[in-house]
Amino acid sequence: MPLPEPIGIYAVLDADTLAPDRLPGAALTMAGEGVRVFQVRGKSLSGRALLALVTAVRDALGPGPTLLVNDRVDVAALAPCDGVHLGDQDLPVAAARRLLPPGAIVGYSTHSIDEAALDHGADYIGFGPVFASTTKPSGRTPLGIEGLRQACGVAPVPVVGIGGIGLDAVAELRRAGASGIAMISALLSTPDVRPTAAAAVRGFQGTEPLDGGRS
Amino acid sequence: MPLPEPIGIYAVLDADTLAPDRLPGAALTMAGEGVRVFQVRGKSLSGRALLALVTAVRDALGPGPTLLVNDRVDVAALAPCDGVHLGDQDLPVAAARRLLPPGAIVGYSTHSIDEAALDHGADYIGFGPVFASTTKPSGRTPLGIEGLRQACGVAPVPVVGIGGIGLDAVAELRRAGASGIAMISALLSTPDVRPTAAAAVRGFQGTEPLDGGRS
């Protein structure tokens, strides 16, 4: 599937945060509440296990939602998914596109306003950490809501805010111009995924970007 | 380059055993002593760093030697190399071939006589651990020289013995029928790579397989 416009809640299905066998069910629950974009991340999984996990998530979700894979371009190219999300230590965007089918979605992580303003050849950029992340401590200084607002103003593609984002921040980040809002712990480390996902989607949908950022 | 016949000394350039910036020079030294097959392994490297390392090793070696990448099919498909080596937790051989150019070399790790006898679709198989490995402790019981001999007798493709192999074992493993002999620590954890590589190549070349194994 192409990337929705706006992206909305962007659920990172992190196999180091929730056990892999629970992720497909969690994804299905989130999709039922209106989440339309998912990224599978499994830094500690083998290639074979990651391929199996992406396949299981797609089986759970069906063809509608957008499904991306973190880092592993080979898995993204072979799995029933829509593309890949790359960090600055992963394979370059242009190289990844050579292995992916035409029209595949490629996202790229940025960590400063200057980086956000560049054309990385990606279909969207991640921008963060917005807040201090507990799931993926990066050692980077949080860029804050004001940083996100500036990034959305200069980025040539839609911006997904990421890093330590909880339910309480969704509406404000959307108002700051984010097309998407990545959530990991806030969605996965909760006793009941359904009301959390529903509240996140409501928080996003109930607001419109005020600042002219690309949405 | 196609796989040499026999494979001979198969040098695993492991970035967790020797610093990545020293591996290209070590590879060049080994090639000068007659090693013709190299595998770059960097389990702890990012995709971008692994791609850079494979490229640097190829730059050092030139086009002659066979150069493979461990695990990462995407890196193997994008780097100036000849193929990939896959373990049983990595992407499946047939899936990997879909991303690699025609004629790419794909190796597959086996760990029992029964596995060695199967057609995995690979161009060669690794077989081991022959001895207890210090570089890559697998938790697996060493299969020994007799195990390697049996594997060479039943395998449909050339066999590369791997796991804890030191200089002193090269000639005997070749006599047992191994087409290739993988060495990691014995080549990399030595104060001077050159005489070690030379002795390994001599140990391999000075012997012929006695037991009718595929060579």
pLDDT at B17 (0 to 100): 95
Interchain proximity A91–B48, CB inside 8 Å: yes
Task: Dump the DSSP string for A155-170.
Answer: -SS-EEE-SS--GGGH
Check if B55 contacts A (Cβ < 8 Å): no
Confidence of residue A156 (pLDDT cuts 50, 70, 90): very high
Q: Is B72 on the interface with A (CB under 8 A)?
A: yes
CA separation for the pair B96, B125 (Å, rounded)? 15
Q: Which amino acid is at A131?
A: F
Helix, strand or coil, per DSSP, at residue B99: helix
Q: Where does the pLDDT of residue A213 fall: very low under 50, low under 70, confident under 90, or very high at 90 and above? A: very low
Cα dihedral angle (A21, A22, A27, A32), rounded to 10 degrees?
130
pLDDT in tens, A160-178: 999 999 999 999 999 999 9
The stretch A46-65 carries a mean pLDDT of 98
Which pLDDT score, from 0 to 100, does residue A46 have? 97
Q: Point out the residue among B47, B96, B99 whose CB comes nearest to the CB of A91.
A: B47
| pLDDT of the residue at A210 | 54
- Is 70 exceeded by the pLDDT of residue A1? no
Q: Does B152 lie at the interface with A, CB-CB under 8 angstroms?
A: no
Q: Over range A119-130, report the average pLDDT.
A: 97
Residue A214 confidence (pLDDT) above 60:
no
The predicted pLDDT at position B213 comes to 46
User: Is the pLDDT at B84 greater than 80, yes or no?
Assistant: yes
Q: Check residue B210 and give its pLDDT.
A: 54
Q: Give the domain ranges of chain B.
A: 8-205
Reply yes or no on whether the pLDDT at A56 is more than 70: yes
Chain-chain contact of B48 with A73 (C-beta, under 8 angstroms): no
Closest C-alpha among A107, A102, A73 to residue B91: A73
Taking the C-alpha atoms of residue A82 and residue A94, their distance in angstroms, rounded to an integer, is 16
**pTM for the full predicted model:** 0.94
- Categorize the per-residue pLDDT at B1 as very low, low, confident or very high, splitting at 50, 70 and 90: low
pLDDT grade, residue B160 (50/70/90)?
very high
Average pLDDT in chain B: 94
pLDDT interval class at A138 (50, 70, 90): confident
pLDDT confidence tier of residue A209, bands split at 50, 70 and 90:
low
Distances (CA, A) of A82 to A11, A32, A56, A194, A195: 15, 19, 14, 24, 27
Give the model's pLDDT for residue B83.
Answer: 98
Q: For B31-42, write each residue's pLDDT tens digit.
A: 999 999 999 999
Test B49 with A89 for CB contact under 8 angstroms: yes
**CATH superfamily to which B8-205 belongs:** Aldolase class I (3.20.20.70)
Omega of the bond leading into B129 within 30 degrees of 0 (cis): yes
Q: What residues of A are in contact with residue B98 (Cβ under 8 Å)? A: 78
**Inter-residue contact A96 to A73 (CB < 8 Å):** yes
Q: Provide, as residue numbers in chain B, all residues whose Cβ is less than 8 Å from the Cβ of A72.
A: 47, 72, 74
Least confident of A70-84, B52-66, B136-150, B154-168: B136-150
pLDDT tens for each residue of A184-204:
999 999 989 999 999 999 999
Q: Which residues of chain B lie closer than 8 angstroms to A99, CB-CB?
A: 74, 77-78, 99
pLDDT band at B215 (very low <50, low <70, confident <90, very high): very low
Min distance A50 CA to chain B CA atoms (Å) = 9
Give the DSSP H or E segment for A146.
helix A144-154
| C-alpha closest to that of B203 among B38, B8, B2, B5 | B8
